[in-house]
Copies of this chain bind each other. A is one copy, B any other.
Amino acid sequence: MTVIEAKEKLTALQAKLSAYGHASGILYYDGVTTAPKGTAANRAQALAVLSEESYKLTTGEETVALLEFLDEHKDELDATEQRIVFLMLKDIRQMQKIPMEEYIELQRLMVEASDVWHTAKETNDFPLFEPLLEKVFAFYKKIAGYCAPEKDPYDYWLGEFEDGLDKARCEEFFSTLRSRIVPLLQKVSAAKQLDDSCIHGSFPAALQDELSRYLMETIGIDMAHCGLGTTEHPFTTSLGSHYDVRITTKYQEDNFASSMYSVIHEGGHALYELGVDDSMAYTVLDGGVSMGIHESQSRFYENLLGRSLEFITLIFPKLQELFPEQLKDCTPEDIYRAVNRAEPSLIRTEADELTYCLHVMVRYELEKRIFAGELSVHDLPAEWNRLYKEYLGVDVPDDTRGVLQDSHWSGGNIGYFPSYALGSAYGAQLMRKMRETVDVDECLRSGNFEPINAWNRENIWKYGSLRKPMELLETALGEKFDPTVYTDYLEKKFSALYGF
């Protein structure tokens, strides 16, 4: 086999893997958006077969030989090809450590867990979900043991979502946030609360759906390649390549801001996926490089842009067109204050920008203790409620609004939550850098997102998974990551809003 032949084989292999990923992806997407309730077991059958085939293809002798051959001829590969071979070999080395039956079993478990979680959340029934969640945590601990026996299992999973992340770095990062956010929140709580009555009322889902599509277009999403669905817990996924991206939302008819910010958040994820360079289509590089970088983009659009007065002013005429009666006595400033009202609350995805990271810290703490064997899944709801009281001062009335609120654990995304907080901090520093060359406020005033999107595309999106997350971030920033840029931003914004 020549190197050229091997490269061709590599391209074909990736295309095939992307097809399996595409099929599994659409099965999942359909399952949580439009599929009838009783069809999960049937879907699990198909997913089990597809993941078995995909597993065989990824770890099969022929594939391993091909990648090892290319790895031996590294000097004849360009940087992109080297990265592809590196990432695929890394995955293989890991997958080889997981017995195939267990890998397939895990796929089945995740389908079932996701299905049961949906029901459990709907019916406030943690005991229904408990045995599955126990299995999920146990499985993830076991897999960490297979893949990195030398590592602490939770460190392993943190690093899976954010290359290089571990408990030590988390503790340091969260302690910086805590030292700045807690006193800031105390000042906010002492100040006169902002009025958010203008975002509450009656907002029919069909009109909110129109708003969603308007928002997607406004922030520059290519609607020919990005769809919108509704689901219990909004997420973004790309299918097969960056040519088909789907975002999802959930409409609350008594509050239009909830879905509005979910759409802008997922829209940020979508822009990142859609913006990967076309040369990476149908390769393993075709997608965001890490959850932290992904969240830096989603929270950039949601908060840094979406919750600014300039953005609210821009979209205000559309809001008035859709909801003329409901908003007849509102100004853009009213909405700006309403969507930035900071207040300890129950639901992470609806939390304000200031208290958001406290929600993340609760989850980090719980995952850490479960992995350390200090907390059982059975005791999770009580401990969740205790920490919400301690960190946020709120009483959790039921598990639906407590431990069952997030889809992450039922989807196997354990170790993911810290990425949300990291992403927020990354985003704030990226914004400071962007402002050196882009007049962001003017873009928002004129509704021209292209300069903003171009900066993100040039510095983040187009690279897909080509660069390591921290290398990508610090190259874009031209400096080291510094979470105090984020806390400075929060202090400035909220002291102005609350007038202290």
Query: Could you tell me which A residues sit within 8 Å of B by CB distance?
Result: 15-16, 18-20, 22-24, 26-27, 29-30, 33-39, 41-43, 45-46, 48-50, 53, 206, 222-227, 229, 239-241, 243-244, 282
Q: Contact between A36 and B244 (Cβ–Cβ < 8 Å)?
A: yes
Q: A19-B50, A26-B27, A27-B26 known; A241 and B45 CB under 8 Å?
A: yes
Q: Please determine whether A41 and B243 come into contact, CB atoms closer than 8 angstroms.
A: yes
Is A227 a contact of B38 with CB atoms below 8 Å? Answer: no
Q: Which residues of B contact A24 (CB under 8 A)?
A: 23
Cβ contacts under 8 Å, A226 to chain B? 36
- Inter-chain contact A49/B244, CB cutoff 8 Å: no
Residue in A19, A23, A46 with the greatest tally of chain B CB atoms within 10 Å = A46
B229 engages A38 (CB within 8 Å): no
Residue of B at shortest CB range from A38?
B224
- A341–B23 Cα distance when bound, in Å, is 45
Do residues B30 and A46 form an inter-chain contact, with CB atoms below 8 A? no
Q: Which 8 A-B pairs have the closest CB atoms?
A: A38-B224, A19-B49, A23-B23, A22-B46, A42-B243, A39-B244, A19-B46, A36-B227
Q: Give complex CA distance A223, B39 in Å.
A: 10
Given contacts A18-B45, A45-B282, contact A26 B30 (CB under 8 A): yes
In the complex this chain forms, how many copies of it are found?
A: 2
Q: Is the CB of B45 within 8 A of A19?
A: yes
Q: Determine which of B19, B33, B45, B223 lies in contact with A15 in the assembled complex, contact meaning CB atoms within 8 Å.
A: B45
Separation of A22 and B41 alpha carbons in the complex (Å): 13
B46:A23 contact, CB within 8 angstroms: yes
Name the residue on B nearest A282 (C-beta). Answer: B45
Q: How far is the CB of A228 from chain B (nearest CB, A)?
A: 9
Check if A223 sits within 8 Å of B36, measured CB to CB: yes
Q: Which of chain B's residues has its CB closest to A47's CB?
A: B19
Q: Tell which of A15, A41, A50, A282 has the most Cβ of chain B within 10 Å.
A: A50
List of B residues within 8 angstroms of A22 by Cβ: 27, 42-43, 45-46
A33 to B33, CA, bound (A): 13
User: When A30-B30, A50-B19 are in contact, do A224 and B36 touch as well, CB less than 8 Å?
Assistant: yes
Partner of A227, one of B15, B35, B224, B227: B35
The residue among A16, A48, A222 with the most chain B CB atoms within 10 A of its own CB is A16
- A434 to B369 Cα, complex, angstroms: 65
Alpha-carbon gap, A35 to B225, bound state (A) = 8
Contact: A225 with B19, CB < 8 Å? no
Taking CB atoms, residues of chain B closer than 8 Å to A33 are: 34
Q: Say which residue of B18, B37, B225 sits within 8 Å of A38 (CB atoms).
A: B225
Roughly how many angstroms separate A239 CA and B15 CA in the complex, as a whole number? 24
Give every chain B residue within 8 A of A241 (Cβ-Cβ): 42, 45
Q: List 29 A-B contacts (CB under 8 A).
A: A15-B45, A15-B49, A16-B49, A18-B45, A18-B46, A19-B49, A20-B49, A23-B26, A23-B46, A23-B50, A26-B27, A29-B30, A30-B30, A33-B34, A34-B34, A34-B229, A36-B244, A37-B223, A38-B222, A38-B225, A39-B224, A39-B243, A42-B239, A42-B241, A42-B243, A42-B244, A43-B240, A43-B244, A46-B240
Shortest beta-carbon distance from A120 to chain B in Å = 17
* Most chain B CB within a 10 A radius of its CB, from A223, A243, A244: A244
Q: Which residues of B contact A240 (CB under 8 A)?
A: 42-43, 45-46
User: A34 and B244: CB pair below 8 A?
Assistant: no
Whole-angstrom CA separation of A16 from B56 in the bound complex: 14
Q: How far is the CA of A244 from the CA of B34 in the complex (A)?
A: 12
Measured between alpha carbons, how far is A37 from B225 in the docked complex, in Å?
A: 7
15 more CB-based (< 8 A) A-B contacts, given A22-B45, A29-B30, A43-B244: A18-B46, A19-B45, A22-B42, A22-B46, A23-B46, A26-B26, A26-B27, A35-B227, A36-B226, A36-B227, A38-B222, A38-B224, A38-B225, A39-B244, A42-B243
